Amino acid sequence: MVSPPTSRPLGPPSGPSRIDYARLLNEEQLRAVEADAGPVLVIAGAGSGKTRTLTFRAARRLEQGLSPDNLLLLTFTNKAAREMTRRMAELVGGFVDVGRLTGGTFHHVAHALLREHATALGYSERFTVLDRQDARDLMVSCLAERKLKSDKRFPRPELVLELVSLATNLQQAVSEVLVDRRPQFVPLAPEVLATAALYRQRKTRLHLMDFDDLLLNLKRLLVEQPRVRALLAERFHAVLVDEYQDTNSLQGELVDLLAGERRDLTVVGDDCQSIYSFRGADFSNIMGFPERHPGCAVFTLTRNYRSTPEVLQLANAAIVQNTRQFPKTLVSERASGPRPLVVPTLDAAEQATWVAERIQTLQAQGQPLESMAVLYRAHNHGLELQLELTRRGLPFRVRSGVRFFEQPHVKDVLAHLRWVNNPRDELAFRRVVRAVPGVGPTTAERLWTSLRALPEGLSLGERLVHEDVRRHVAKKSLAAFERLTGLMGRLGRPEATRDPGGLIEDVLSGGYAARLALEATPEDSREDDLRRLAELARRFEDLPRFLSELALVAEFAAKEALQGDAPGDVLTLSSVHQAKGLEWRSVFVLWLVDGRFPMSQATRSAEEEEEERRLFYVATTRARDLLALVYPLSVLPREGERIVLRPSRFLDELPTGEGGPYDRLVLPSTAAVRGVLPPPLGWNEPGPEGSEVED
């Protein structure tokens, strides 16, 4: 897409070079390190040594006589900043005082500069930085000051904070973000916008800044204060940025402003790993860099030190379908290994069983669990696998958040089912009833005492409508309590308990789905989590058996929690987003069906579909040796009929036949749905003795 111009090497170091660049770097890295003094864009493919290239380029600039005081290094995480500092100390610590370098995360650097210059914006030099809880407390105070009527529809303080944060980082008005991200609150826009404005006013008046203000106010310094801009331009002669593909609009503009007229700017990133638009990352920052910086040199790193040639063949074949990219083909520096597997399974249960069995086989062959990972597009895609791993006693950690069954919205819905199953379950009762507006700890205690005092033999619904119970409910809460009474009466019917999946659907339709929708974002998956939980529950013949299975999971999690954070041989379960930057010997990717990966809501436009394909590319390039792409052919029976799923379009796009980048593993059970398989992936007969691998 963009042809790299011929670079003009920088002059030699000011004295004899202390670093043997030619020995320590490959040819591609060396060209980028020795490029002219910017602007330079380094497109670094997965596993190609981007951080190494950036630190060596910084070291070379120092060897050429640039003072460490004049170098600025920007990263995204504290961990990355520490790693960058460590590598710089190893390279130049013998002849440069690394402590004089300015470097760290965007927020860390902005904070340091604002401590020096915030008075130019009218802030005290002793301004306070708000952490997340402080910011929430201030927003609560603003809501109280607005004297809003008690209304469950109004967004929680955290949601108003999220709107303000996104508006700052996207450099948009709060009203625009409200329409785009939280359209359900548009009818309340005047109050939401007034509260957001008050929050900003209070911060300024009290000399407070939240994390987003650090970046915004640094930009204000550079744009509004020519004297400060000149001071910083004189201070920072060279700017180097890591993970540039993850920058948002505000960060991208800050980078350009800090580089100033010198334009000695080096950014390193991989356009094919730009996957965080939901957090505000702006893909156009990296794609538009050559246009914003005419004459820039573009270098591409394609030599991959992580994955086998077979894994990279599949990754290259997947990402080539994207039209908006800097084209590149990764080349492995590793020896050949096994071909990736594509594994269709009958349903989600067999998917979990096959993955768990394969993990145990690898473990028996000497591969530690620590060297394996299971990746998925959304957190709820690990549901069946968490159950299966628990049954087998295989320890696992969840990088994509808390374990599925420990999430608040899952526990909310399960509390309804636990209370139906055991009306004496006080903890379940309290979790359910406290969700009724106006019911606090005191009312909940009175309700529980009155319920226990009722005679035996009454159903749960009959107990809740009893006058001795209802009299403890305040008038303002009565309507909501009656809705709960009706719901629990329906859930408690004997025939209903034989369909635990139906019970979950009833809780959703009984008001819980509407409650979630009030707080939902376009990326919110909580209702989908619960639909998936209902799908799982249909595998159980009644409610007691379903809850017993979940109790096993809870017991297993509790035992692991007692062990604390002690290191051990533990399998990793993770969303692909959380797995970026990590690698494992063996990687299993689940739920590769259209609607799940890619997500259905993420294919509304070509841009969104390309980001989903980049996400698939990131998943495949996490594997060093073994890659298995797994998907169910159907979902569990509903009313006696299986629903057939379509394999992910990302699998459809891969070449097939002799030159294809994978082997297909055919399981005997999948023959049951052979006649209704979608055609693109083809199908061959399974062998008589069981599974077989096909080229």
Check residue 248 and report its DSSP letter.
B
Q: Which residues contact 231 (CB under 8 A, 6 or more apart)?
A: 117
Give the β-pairing of 208-209 and 128-129.
parallel
SS3 call for 105? strand
Alpha carbons 489 and 507: distance in angstroms, whole number? 12
Scan for tokens 């696998």, then name that residue: 385
φ, ψ of residue 79 in degrees (nearest 5): -60, -45
Tokens of 393: 């006693």
Alpha carbons 139 and 162: distance in angstroms, whole number? 11
Query: 513 a known binding residue?
Result: no
Alpha carbons 322 and 183: distance in angstroms, whole number? 30
* 377 Cα distance to chain centroid: 9
Alpha carbons 438 and 435: distance in angstroms, whole number? 9
Query: 444 a known binding residue?
Result: no
Q: Which is nearest to 383 in space by CA: 512, 549, 202? A: 549
Give the β-pairing of 265-269 and 584-589.
unpaired
Q: Which is nearest to 591 in space by CA: 368, 375, 339, 321? A: 375
Alpha carbons 128 and 114: distance in angstroms, whole number? 11
Query: 44 a known binding residue?
Result: yes
Which amino acid is residue 619, in one-letter code?
Answer: A
Which amino acid is residue 32, in one-letter code?
Answer: A
Alpha carbons 272 and 321: distance in angstroms, whole number? 11
Which amino acid is residue 678, in one-letter code?
Answer: P
Query: 332 a known binding residue?
Result: no
Query: 260 a known binding residue?
Result: no
> What is the torsional sign of CA 247, 252, 258, 263?
positive
Q: Which is nearest to 672 in space by CA: 633, 629, 626? A: 633
Asked if 97 contacts 177 with a C-beta cutoff of 8 angstroms, the reply is no
**Dihedral angle computed from the Cα positions of residues 359, 613, 615 and 666, in that order, rounded to the nearest 10 degrees:** -10
Q: Which residues contact 348 (CB under 8 A, 6 or more apart)?
A: 383, 384, 535, 536, 591, 632, 635, 636
- Exposed e or buried b per residue across 644-661, where buried means at least 16 C-beta atoms within 10 angstroms of its C-beta: ebbbbbbbeebebeeebb
Alpha carbons 139 and 409: distance in angstroms, whole number? 24
Scan for tokens 């040796």, then name that residue: 625
Query: 85 a known binding residue?
Result: no
Query: 548 a known binding residue?
Result: no
Tokens of 273: 């790993």
Helix, strand, coil % (nearest 5) of the chain?
Answer: 55, 15, 35
Q: What is the DSSP string of 163-227?
A: HHHHHHHHT--HHHHHHHH-GGGGGGHHHHHHHHHHHHHHHHHTTEE-HHHHHHHHHHHHHH-HH
Query: 49 a known binding residue?
Result: yes
Residues annotated in the binding site for ATP, as ranges?
44-51
Residues annotated in the binding site, as ranges?
44-51
